[in-house]
Chain A
Amino acid sequence: MRQDDRAAEMTRQQHLTQYVCRARFARKGALSFIGHLDLMKVFERAIRRAELPILYTQGYNPRPMLVFALPLGVGIDTTGDYVDAAMAVPVNAEEFMAKVNPELPQDLEVLSCISIDEPKRSLMSVVTYAEYEIEAPGITEPALRLFARDEILMEKKNKKGKIVSTDIRPLMVKPFEDSTADKVHVLVSAGSVSNLRPDIFIRAVCIHEGYDPDKASEAVITRTALFGGEYPDIEGIEGLV
């Protein structure tokens, strides 16, 4: 990920013009069981099979220039994630979709695409919030109780391997009205500045609200949207270039 950023930086320094296809994609089923690095490779190979004029990073180990908005954890479905693919020449959005979609494995699909000439900001840096749907028996009630708290301390290991306590409450923005008893729909902080992973949120529901960890381990998690901006003035990723 950081490597991609570096690569993007290098290309900018070389004054190469980038024509970016920003694709919104969905994944489910088999494709949800792979990690972020694997997903990157799946996209890279699909774009290579599609014979699109993708740019490559410089250096010893050139890779197709793809930047993902936010890594997706293993087991998490998505209906609204983004990837920027940097092209050497302009590629229109329809052509990108028509060529890439047949090359993607089943359970992975580009839903829409926009073309951006020379984006000023990297895709990763614009993400500030993510929306998740978490489906598990009876999870909504304890999850809403969690939102009622002022402070929610969670232990985690810092970079040095020491266990520290942090308050995740500021990262929990709000639950949505459309939550049902077994499916809670939430907005949380996401991105490179502050990020709340949905599995940590679920763990907090278990630890602080006594939710059954066995049921939690069966939770189906779907990322439904990503946003930029500052709450409550949040906006879609498409426009943030």
Chain B
Amino acid sequence: MSVESPGRYVGGEKNQIIKEDVLKELRERGECTAVRTAFCFPDVYEIGMSNLALQILYKLLNSEDYTSCERVFSPWHDMDRKMRENDIPLYSLETKSPLYEFDVVAFTLGYEMAFANVLQMLELGKIPLKSCDRKETDPIIVCGGPVAYNIEPMSDFFDAVFMGEGEELDLEFIQEIKKYKDGGKKDRQAMLREVAKIEGMYVPSLYEPEYSPEGKFIALHPIDDTVPSKITKRIIKDLDSVLYPTAPVVPNNNIVHDRAYLELFRGCIRGCRFCQAGYITRPVREKSADTLLAQGKEIEHNTGYDELGMLSLSTSDYTELAKLTDGLLCAFDGRHTSLSLPSLRIDNFALDLMEKASSTRKTGLTFAPEAGTQRLRDVINKGINEENILSALRLAFMGGWSTVKLYFMLGLPTETMDDVRGIAELAKKIEDLYYDVAREMGVKPRRPEITVSTSMFIPKPFTAFQWEKQNTMEEFLEKQACLRECLKKVRSVRYIWHGVETSVWEGILARGDRRLNDVILDGYKAGSLFDAWDDNFNYERWMGILASHGLSWEMYARGYECGDVLPWDHISVGVSRNFFLKERERAYREEITPNCREKCSACGANCFKTGVCYETR
């Protein structure tokens, strides 16, 4: 059997966990007493193994004797074909067990474009696709991750959904499944009702949607009053004491992010109004530098990786960054281990750190101004101004850097063509600055490399912009063309842009409701798979299927009224709807909101009684 990169289908890596007692039971009796979970990542191995949630929860679900966990990834087209031709069911890497033999099949969902792959994995795993078609002995299909906060477009396929952080919730859920398994898997409905009683667990089948005759979503009703009308996410209060995988699985073949990771903190103090990741992970909770130092040394020793990445939404906001990086650099002295520090705000400290931390040459600097004018940056509450950017770059150019990447979004609320042209003007100022610095320093300038990258703004649930209208395809294309024209005048700029079509489709899925379930099913049946891979994505087919269900782009992208019930209103991430509304109004007034450490803006996340909300300011 010849398939591309066969190493992704075989497992056998260092630090892989196979529970011997479970294996023995399985061999002897064909079943076991522990609850077996297949942890599924709906993309290829090389993407999935780069995911920290997978490594954390894999370790967690193998940490107690009543639970075991194995990994499953989405087979690429070639393997998918071979498995169907030869009737090979999708199997786990650890024990090569078919998916249908597991008690729980758990997906982590990081992006909407992976939806079709969930269906592929279920189908190849010989599991009924729809929750309502599953029998008592079929696995229980669950999911978590950022996309799970609005799972309505996929609600038919999941038996239960985790709202919040897995470390807090998973074992409680597994214990409930253990009871079900011990009892001989008699009454699936009763079990799901028990699961729904766990705080933070959402069982979609216990709710019914209502639409107006005009086809507008009106409400989602619990089927009776024993079902909670609101599900609030669960989070870890103290990250220092929670399990962290210091011996993660080390892949044998090259993966996308081939390094070890430390997670500095969860949440983000910044409050950028478009950013779902920032809001859904509130409040900010840090790990102490001492914990991280100890874990960093352990990880480096246990993996043999020569690069340790610092993960968080905004590395510079970590309050003990200097202590941590000094400590790690000291510990790794002479060991040829470098640190990677993404999302650093560029200042003297950061430049110095980058010089020290990485053993390799000067790589490019990355900025995400997101918008081209100060007005629009204030609208989105991006706490960064032109002066910050230029003074940081002045330092960087003086220090010998000459490669700069700039990330922007097109289609942000209130955007005008002036804002679009502003992107090119900023790029021009940066180019001029480079030559100015070279002249001042009396050196012969090289040609700077300035990359401008644009993506399309997609309004996401649980953000201040969750009600916004998304730009039409024509608007996006016009803005892209305008920017491309303006950037032609800036010689050192390379412009790269992301596909408009994928953004339009992602926008529909992100704010979708339950009517999209059958659209996604039909799209999958028609051949859609790996939509996150640009050359696999078929826009016309998806839009055609959407239309065949009597639905349209307008219904999802036109935006919602402030008074509308939103398809995800039964979920709470702690940040109140009221706060989002106020933030929206401030956006229109171009007013910035101070970050969580400057001043509390009473978003509501203090309901979790932890983190930055309780720091002394």
**Residues of A that sit less than 8 Å from B by CB:** 29-31, 33-35, 37-38, 41-42, 44-49, 51, 56, 60-62, 64, 74-75, 103-107, 217-218
Contacts and interface: CB of A to CB of B under 8 A. Distances in A.
Contact of B304 (A35, A45, A61, A217): A45
Contacts of B301: 49, 51
A37 B250 CA distance: 15
A46 B14 contact: yes
Given A45-B305, A46-B304, A60-B361, A38 B11 contact: no
B254 A41 contact: yes
Nearest to B251: A38
Contacts of A45: 14, 250, 303-305
Contacts of B11: 30
A35 B253 contact: yes
B7 A34 contact: yes
Interface in B292-317: 301-306
Contacts of A103: 14, 304
Nearest to B301: A49
B599 interface: no
Contacts of A38: 7, 252-254
Contact of B2 (A49, A60, A61, A217): A217
Interface in B1-32: 1-2, 6-7, 9-14, 16
Nearest to A47: B304
Interface of B: 1-2, 6-7, 9-14, 16, 250, 252-254, 301-306, 335-336, 359-361
A56 B361 contact: no
28 contacts: A29-B10, A29-B12, A30-B12, A30-B252, A31-B12, A33-B6, A33-B10, A34-B252, A35-B253, A38-B7, A38-B253, A44-B306, A45-B304, A45-B305, A49-B14, A49-B303, A49-B304, A60-B360, A61-B360, A64-B336, A74-B7, A103-B14, A103-B304, A105-B12, A105-B16, A106-B16, A107-B12, A217-B2
A56 B336 contact: yes
Contacts of A217: 1-2
B434 to A, nearest CB: 23
A63 to B, nearest CB: 8
A188 to B, nearest CB: 22
A33 B250 contact: no
B339 to A, nearest CB: 15
Contacts of A37: 254
Question: Most chain-A CB neighbours within 10 Å: which of B6, B7, B304, B360?
Answer: B304
A30 B360 contact: no
B467 to A, nearest CB: 48
Contacts of A105: 12-14, 16, 250, 252
A26 to B, nearest CB: 14
Contacts of B7: 30, 33-35, 38, 74
A42 B336 contact: no
B267 to A, nearest CB: 32
B252 to A, nearest CB: 5
A34 B252 CA distance: 7
A12 B359 CA distance: 23
Contacts of A104: 14
Contacts of B253: 33-35, 38
Contacts of B6: 33, 74-75
Contacts of B360: 60-61
B302 A62 contact: no
A44 B9 CA distance: 22
Nearest to B93: A30
Given A38-B252, A48-B305, 16 more contacts: A29-B10, A30-B7, A30-B12, A37-B254, A38-B7, A41-B254, A45-B14, A45-B303, A45-B304, A61-B360, A75-B6, A105-B12, A105-B13, A105-B16, A106-B16, A217-B2
Contacts of B16: 105-106
A80 B254 CA distance: 24
A30 B45 CA distance: 14
A41 B304 CA distance: 10
B252 A42 contact: yes
B336 A62 contact: yes
Contact of B10 (A30, A35, A62): A30
B261 to A, nearest CB: 15
A15 to B, nearest CB: 20
Contacts of B336: 56, 62, 64
Return the 9 tightest CB-CB contacts between A and B, nearest first.
A30-B12, A45-B304, A48-B304, A30-B10, A33-B6, A49-B304, A34-B7, A33-B7, A105-B14
Contact of A44 (B1, B14, B302, B304): B304
Contacts of B359: 60-62
Contacts of B2: 217
B87 to A, nearest CB: 17
A42 to B, nearest CB: 5
A143 B359 CA distance: 51
A3 to B, nearest CB: 15
Nearest to B14: A105
Contact of B302 (A30, A49, A56, A61): A49
Nearest to A42: B252
Contacts of A48: 304-306, 335
Contacts of B13: 30, 105
A118 B315 CA distance: 46
A151 B359 CA distance: 53
Nearest to B13: A105
A51 B252 CA distance: 19
Contacts of B12: 29-31, 105-107
A218 B86 CA distance: 14
Nearest to B300: A48
A103 B14 CA distance: 8
Contacts of B252: 30-31, 34, 38, 42, 105
Question: Most chain-A CB neighbours within 10 Å: which of B7, B303, B359?
Answer: B7
Nearest to A56: B336
A115 B170 CA distance: 50
B188 to A, nearest CB: 36
Contacts of B1: 217-218
Nearest to B302: A49
B354 to A, nearest CB: 15
Contacts of B335: 48
A21 to B, nearest CB: 17
A22 B549 CA distance: 66
A97 B201 CA distance: 50
Contacts of A30: 7, 10-13, 252
Question: Most chain-B CB neighbours within 10 Å: which of A41, A47, A75?
Answer: A41
Nearest to B254: A38
Contacts of B14: 45-46, 49, 103-105
Contacts of A35: 7, 253
A165 B591 CA distance: 73
